[in-house]
């Protein structure tokens, strides 16, 4: 089994979820390292050799944190996770075989995203079956709460797109080079979703991100411009 680098950007707004997520990843034999992009440095520490803390002097926001995590990753296969989600134990081990250089980016299918208020033990399960994928052209709501792939399918997200549209950019860039993107089919992922990024203080950044993304992509016949209110479901990482 090849190892996978797990990447978690965080502002520590849902620490109960983050703590459990780190525990799940520590237990997963396919996870070689857990890179935490600490965008709000605090005295939090995980006593495990898998965990690498990258403390930032200021908030990098979501997409630059994704870029940094993939750049710093020791392994070619990666998974980027929101800090406020509950994934099954053994999730990465079941996903690892799909993270090949000939595929695009893999995310989460909208019907599989389940909003929850707290990190309840009743939602903590073990994945004992194989993961199935469905091909996509455009990402759906919730796609970006988990992003996985091979480094050769990761395209650095432009610096002027800070919180939203990073997953749209990755999907579109892989479309353009002829790689197929996918969603994970029928594996429930529980999330507190957007506890930070939906705050009013981020509205200006959201509008700028939309403008910059549409300019960068320069929409053609197979592309859809983003409109106000159409976002990708970010969490507490920026």
User: Per the domain annotation, does 115 fall within a domain?
Assistant: yes
User: Per the domain annotation, does 238 fall within a domain?
Assistant: no
User: Per the domain annotation, does 231 fall within a domain?
Assistant: no
User: Per the domain annotation, does 228 fall within a domain?
Assistant: no
- Percentage of residues of the chain with pLDDT beyond 90: 70
**pLDDT tens per residue across span 130-153:** 999 999 999 989 999 999 999 999
User: Per the domain annotation, does 53 fall within a domain?
Assistant: yes
The model's pTM: 0.89
Give every CB contact of residue 141 below 8 A, 6+ residues apart in sequence: 110, 113, 232, 233
What pLDDT sits at residue 120? 87
**pLDDT tens per residue across span 11-26:** 999 999 999 999 999 9
H-helix or E-strand spanning residue 31: strand 31-38
pLDDT at 42 over 60: yes
**d(Cα 112, Cα 130) in Å, to the nearest integer?**
16
User: Per the domain annotation, does 213 fall within a domain?
Assistant: yes
Domain count within the chain: 1
Give every CB contact of residue 57 below 8 A, 6+ residues apart in sequence: 41
- Higher pLDDT residue, 101 or 193? 101
Instruction: List the domain range (segments joined by +) for residue 88.
Output: 4-217
Give every CB contact of residue 160 below 8 A, 6+ residues apart in sequence: 208, 212
**pLDDT tens per residue across span 97-119:** 999 999 999 999 999 999 998 89
User: Per the domain annotation, does 225 fall within a domain?
Assistant: no
For 58-67, 126-135, 224-233, which range has the lowest pLDDT when averaged over its residues? 224-233
pLDDT at 225 over 50: no
């Amino acid at each position: 089994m090849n190892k996978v680098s797990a990447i978690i950007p965080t502002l520590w707004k849902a620490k109960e979820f983050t703590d459990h997520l780190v525990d799940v990843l520590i237990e997963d034999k396919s996870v070689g390292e857990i890179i935490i992009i600490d965008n709000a440095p605090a005295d939090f520490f995980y006593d495990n050799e898998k965990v690498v803390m990258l403390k930032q002097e200021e908030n990098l926001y979501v997409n630059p944190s994704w870029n940094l995590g993939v750049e710093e990753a020791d392994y070619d296969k990666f998974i980027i996770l929101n800090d406020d989600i509950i994934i099954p134990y053994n999730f990465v081990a079941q996903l690892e075989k799909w993270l090949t250089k000939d595929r695009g980016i893999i995310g989460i299918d909208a019907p599989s995203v389940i909003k929850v208020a707290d990190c309840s033990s009743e939602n903590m399960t073990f994945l004992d079956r194989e993961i199935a994928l469905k091909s996509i052209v455009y990402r759906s709501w919730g796609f970006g709460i988990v992003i996985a792939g091979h480094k050769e399918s990761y395209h650095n997200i432009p610096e002027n797109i800070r919180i939203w549209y990073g997953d749209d950019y990755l999907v579109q860039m892989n479309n353009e080079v002829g790689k197929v993107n996918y969603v994970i089919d029928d594996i429930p992922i529980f999330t507190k979703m957007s506890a930070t990024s939906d705050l009013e203080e981020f509205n200006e950044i959201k509008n700028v991100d939309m403008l910059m993304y549409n300019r960068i992509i320069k929409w053609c016949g197979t592309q859809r411009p983003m409109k106000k209110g159409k976002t990708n479901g970010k969490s507490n990482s920026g």
